[in-house]
Each structure stands twice: as structure tokens, then as C-alpha cells.
Chains A and B, each alone.
Chain A
Amino acid sequence: DAGVTQSPTHLIKTRGQQVTLRCSPISGHKSVSWYQQVLGQGPQFIFQYYEKEERGRGNFPDRFSARQFPNYSSELNVNALLLGDSALYLCASSLNRRSYEQYFGPGTRLTVT
């Protein structure tokens, strides 16, 4: 079975631009979470979506938004990119909103210049 998939693998953007990252969860999983991992740090929680609704949000500005589609895939959007947004963006899926185990994808490496 395929694990969590993310696209693209790498991305280079300029300050002020907008970016969209995509995630497909493990088959049968209905919950998707997004994390930001800055170099040298642990991942930080951005969002969780379950059944197309936002169930949790971390301490990130409104420039960050996300959505979940009927097939449970998800997109993370970041507007007005800053240099500090350069990071590895990780998507994790779990069976449902009460599942404690999260399974991570390979991530999207975003570089903002």
C-alpha cells in the first residue's frame, strides 16, 4: 500500500509569492495534518483537517491556509511568502480524528529567496 504522498518534492519561490503544497493520505485515512520543520528544529503543527473541516490550528499567521477535499487529500497554501517560510513541510495522515498515531509523508522542501 502506498504511504502518504506529497508534491512537489522541492520548490523555490521568491518573497511575496504564493505557494500550494499537496498531500494524499494513506488509503482509508480520513484525517490530514500539516507540520512545518525549520532546519535544525522539530516539526511544528500548522493544521489538522478531518472530514473536510479544520479541527485544529497551530500558532501560524493567516497567510497559512489549507483545505481538504472529498477524497481526503489536502492542500496547504501560503501567501505573501517570507524568507522565514523556508522549511520542510510535512503532511501526516491518521485514520480518524481520534487516532493518536500519525504517519508522515516525505515532505516538500520549500526555499524562499
Chain B
Amino acid sequence: AQSVTQLDSQVPVFEEAPVELRCNYSSSVSVYLFWYVQYPNQGLQLLLKYLSGSTLVESINGFEAEFNKSQTSFHLRKPSVHISDTAEYFCAVSEGSGGSNYKLTFGKGTLLTVNP
């Protein structure tokens, strides 16, 4: 069975500082990896995804994540955060074989708080 571990439940940082949100996964087959962001009282927004190809993927708002198969990790990074990045971030995995790509397994989330 697949599982996702987000190592930090809360990450406080100052504005314009770099940040890394950690995610490790466990799966017996090839995986597809996602980061979702949830702002207060809202649903989930897809931030970025790794399906295949380049192991470094980027979002339009400056976040990036790197798929590391040997370390089974998919950490999210941003070199300089803004107040507006304050939100809950969820790492998710979808297994990619046997037709079982129908569900996402999520981590417990990391609350990123950007302080002025």
C-alpha cells in the first residue's frame, strides 16, 4: 500500500526567506506525485505534478519540486516566499499501474506560515 509522510506539520518562515517542505512516499510500484495547496476555507489547488520525464518540476508561482527515486522523496522548495504563500500544503501520490490510478493518497499536510 502506498503512503505519504510529510515530515513537518508546521513551517514558519520570514518573508523573502527560502523554504523547503519535505515529503517522502512509500510505494511498491511506479508513482505519480503531486503537491496541492489549500488556502483557509477553500478546496485544494494543484500546485505541481511529476508524471514522467525531468525530475525537477516547476509551478508558475516560483515553487519547484524534485523527484528523487532513490530517496523516495518529492520535496517542495521556493527560494523566496511571500506573505501570500501562507497556506496548507499537501503532498500526494497516485500509483501508476494495474489501473489503480484512481485515487490519491495524501500526507497530513504542512502549514506554511510566512511572517513579515
Which A positions have Cβ atoms within 8 angstroms of B?
4, 31, 33, 35, 40-45, 48, 50, 55-56, 58, 90, 92, 97-107
Contacts and interface: CB of A to CB of B under 8 A. Distances in A.
A106 B42 contact: yes
Interface in B21-53: 32, 34, 36, 42-46, 49, 51
Contacts, number: 64
Interface of B: 4, 32, 34, 36, 42-46, 49, 51, 90, 92, 94, 96, 99-109
Contacts of B44: 43, 90, 92, 104
17 contacts: A4-B43, A33-B102, A42-B4, A42-B92, A42-B106, A42-B108, A44-B106, A50-B102, A56-B100, A56-B103, A97-B99, A97-B102, A99-B101, A100-B49, A101-B49, A103-B46, A107-B42
Nearest to B44: A104
A90 B105 contact: no
Given A42-B109, A100-B32, A48 B46 contact: no
